[in-house]
Amino acid sequence: MTDEVREEYGHTPVTEAPLPLPLDFEAHYLTNQDAFHAYALAILHTNDRAERAVHRAFLEILRHWDTLLTEPDLQEQTWQIMRRVVIGELLNGLRQDLTTMDSHIGLYPALSKLPPRQFDAVVLRHIGKYETRDIAWYMGLTPSTVTHHCRRAQERLDPIYRRATRPIKTRDTL
């Protein structure tokens, strides 16, 4: 098998081992992986989505590992990254689900077509019922920018809502 791979690709897989991770990062991973996965699974409801979120979170943690080590509370910082990734995964799944939902007025497909920041801000505010300051933390924005994104999204969605709630004209009202 190894000879076949060497011939086909020109290198041996054993010599292409992944780069070693910092030992302290490996320890952090082993300590937190089960809890991170349980958290993601509780929110995302499928093992595939939970595994994808945990993997993305640890890649993000690894990318910022040197900086995170200087933080006073490493555990809190890594959980914040995990929460952000899980919320992001949840929002991406919701965006995909909305394209197939029927609202009789086209609201869900229109909502799914909003730019990412407007979509995230509207969903977190109106569906998730989060406060502006919490949305700002999650999105890494100022509260006024979150309010701006919600206002712009509402401007885009208002014509759909107005069309749907416009009184139907009958012969008697013409």
Q: Whole-prediction pTM value?
A: 0.65
Residue 166: is its pLDDT beyond 80?
Answer: no
pLDDT at 171: 53
Note whether 110 and 157 are within 8 A (CB).
Answer: yes
The token duo for 57 is 């979170």
Taking Cα atoms as reference points, which of 101, 87, 107 lies closest to residue 43? Answer: 87
Distance separating alpha carbons of residues 46 and 49, to the nearest angstrom: 5
Q: Which residue has the tokens 């730019």?
A: 115
Q: Write out pLDDT tens, residues 95-142.
A: 888 878 877 778 888 888 899 889 888 888 888 788 999 888 878 789
Mean pLDDT, residues 49-62: 96
Amino acid occupying residue 96:
Q
pLDDT in tens, 61-90: 999 999 999 999 999 899 999 999 999 999
As separate numbers, helices (DSSP H) first and strands (DSSP E) second, the chain gives 9, 0
Task: Please report the sign of the dihedral spanned by the C-alpha atoms of residue 89, residue 93, residue 98, residue 101.
Answer: negative
Q: Is 140 left (phi over 0), alpha (psi -120 to 50) or beta?
A: left
Secondary element (H or E) of residue 57: helix 47-63
CB distance 24 to 69 below 8 Å: yes
